[in-house]
Amino acid sequence: MARDPRSQLPLTPVVLHILLALAEGERHGYAIAQDVEDATQGQVRMGPGTLYGSIQRMLTSALIEEAPARRRADDGEDDARRRYYRVTAYGRRVLELELERLNAIVRLARHKHLVGGARPA
């Protein structure tokens, strides 16, 4: 399934946020949603269908994978029912490409003096 990473672009906002959340380390589903909500100051709130629908698609296209089950001492709420997800190498590559793409767009906008950072003198 190792398709050309570029064929995955552009990512939907939800997929992008999930990848960003998992880039920091493995998470279970609820923690992903929580992370995204915190990171975006509540701007992106995912319902269960959105979250697990996206996870399922991301598993299919091998952007993420399930981490092997284990007990984690640092999380008091840890629980055997939980599954943890992590980014694959392929997913990491896709994320990089997407961020580069977004960055290029922002640079273009800056160049045209559409966003802050380089006001016309």
- 19 forms beta bridges with none
Of residues 33 and 95, the one with the C-beta less far from another protein: 33
At residue 55, what are phi and psi to the nearest 5 degrees?
A: -60, -45
Nearer to another protein, 17 or 28 (CB): 28
Instruction: Give, for 66, the enclosing helix (H) or strand (E).
Output: strand 64-67
Question: Which residues of this protein are in contact with another protein, per CB under 8 A?
Answer: 28-30, 33, 45-53, 55-57, 60, 79, 81-83
CB of residue 118 to another protein, shortest distance in Å: 33
Query: What tokens were used for 29?
Result: 């589903």
Nearest approach, Cβ of residue 77 and another protein (Å): 9
Of 50 and 65, which has the nearer Cβ to another protein?
50
**Nearest distance in Å: CB 98, another protein:** 20
67 - beta bridge partners? 84
CA dihedral 13, 15, 20, 22 (to 10 degrees): 160
Q: Quick check: helix, strand or coil at residue 86? A: strand
**What is the smallest separation between the CB atom of 108 and another protein, expressed in angstroms?**
24
Closer of 86 and 101 to another protein (Cβ): 86
